[in-house]
Amino acid sequence: MDRYYLGIDVGSVSTNVVLIDDNNHLAYKKYIRTQGKPIDMIKVVIEEVAEKYGDDTIQGVGTTGSGRYLASIIIGADEVKNEITSHAIASLTYRPDIKTIMEIGGQDSKIIILRDGIVVDFAMNTVCAAGTGSFLDRQAIRLGIEISDFGDLALKSNNAVRIAGRCAVFAESDMIHKQQLGHNQEDIIKGLCQALTRNYLSNIGNGKDIKSPIMFQGGVAANKGITKAFEDELGEEIIIPPNFDVMGAIGAAIIGKEKAKSQGYTNFNGLDIYKKDYNVNGFECEGCSNLCEILEIKENEKTLARYGDKCGKWSY
């Protein structure tokens, strides 16, 4: 019987699901837009997994991402880990000598500094869109091109237009101004790639000891123009792993595998969860001045979990 381990990375933009085997080789991966409905998206992917694999093949589960606790309750995870740990584990499995991980997703970005296989520093950006994939998506729409063509067009430019990249709003207005002046698309696109790169390095990478080998992951790693801009800025080769878009989920699967093996069983709720109905309700606790926002997850009328409080009054 084939044995697989499930990893789920639930983010604000995408939900990534993978299956790995005992040797950490990828057997299945799915990248799907979260669309503000994480439970529905999890159910969609699990239904697809159920059609291809049997219940007995899933021997362990790990979850990560901003929706990791929600996913854990629905799926029945053996381990729940933050994105920093998950990305680091996956990267070290691919390249044990890695020293810097740069990750840029749709809504956030992060940098992880490792030395001798240990995370020694990190930073995350969840505030400004100028250093994220959603910024590039918007500019591609404004320029009337497909985001998949963005990188190739950037590489055709020999004279990048300098665009202010410290803020998404200023960058967009600056780009429009350069369009009005008559600069060609390729030069503007290359300028946008360089602007995003400068924004990332001056904000997320500020004060960080960026050393080679450097790995670039997240959805934006598919953009050749951004990769080239990083290589020009840092003067180093940038490594793109084969499954750059689902590294968080791979790390979660590896962590879930190790935990399930160490405890001798899995908490996995089974592949039929896509048939069940789940409801998430929120309410504000007025028990003290914290006014915690509590999330309650129900399967039909049965309460599965509550979380979000600081004192533990509601959590279980």
In tens, the pLDDT along 217-254 reads: 988 888 888 899 899 999 999 999 999 989 999 999 99
Q: In the predicted model, what is the mean pLDDT of the chain? A: 83
Instruction: Check if 4-87+248-275 and 96-240 are the same fold.
Output: yes
Name the fold adopted by 4-87+248-275. Nucleotidyltransferase; domain 5 (3.30.420)
**Secondary-structure breakdown of the chain: helix, strand, coil percentages, each rounded to the nearest 5:** 40, 25, 35
| Contact assessment for residue 188 and residue 175, using Cβ atoms and an 8 Å cutoff | yes
Name the fold adopted by 96-240. Nucleotidyltransferase; domain 5 (3.30.420)
Chain centroid, CA 178 distance in Å: 32
| Contact assessment for residue 43 and residue 273, using Cβ atoms and an 8 Å cutoff | yes
Q: Which residues pair with 279 in a beta bridge?
A: 298
Q: Which residues pair with 10 in a beta bridge?
A: 15
Instruction: Report how far residue 279's alpha carbon sits from residue 269's, in angstroms, rounded to the nearest whole number.
Output: 17
pLDDT band at 292 (very low <50, low <70, confident <90, very high): confident
Instruction: Indicate whether 88 pLDDT > 90.
Output: yes
Instruction: Report how far residue 240's alpha carbon sits from residue 231's, in angstroms, rounded to the nearest whole number.
Output: 12
Tokens of 195: 């602007």
This prediction has a pTM of 0.84
Any idea where the domains of the chain sit in the sequence?
A: 4-87+248-275, 96-240, 277-316
- How many C-beta neighbours within 10 Å does residue 95 have? 13
CA 287 vs CA 145, 282, 296, 308, 310: distances in Å: 52, 15, 17, 13, 11
pLDDT of residue 134: 65
Q: What is the dihedral of CA 195, 226, 147, 154, to 10 degrees?
A: 80
pLDDT in tens, 5-23: 999 999 877 889 999 999 9
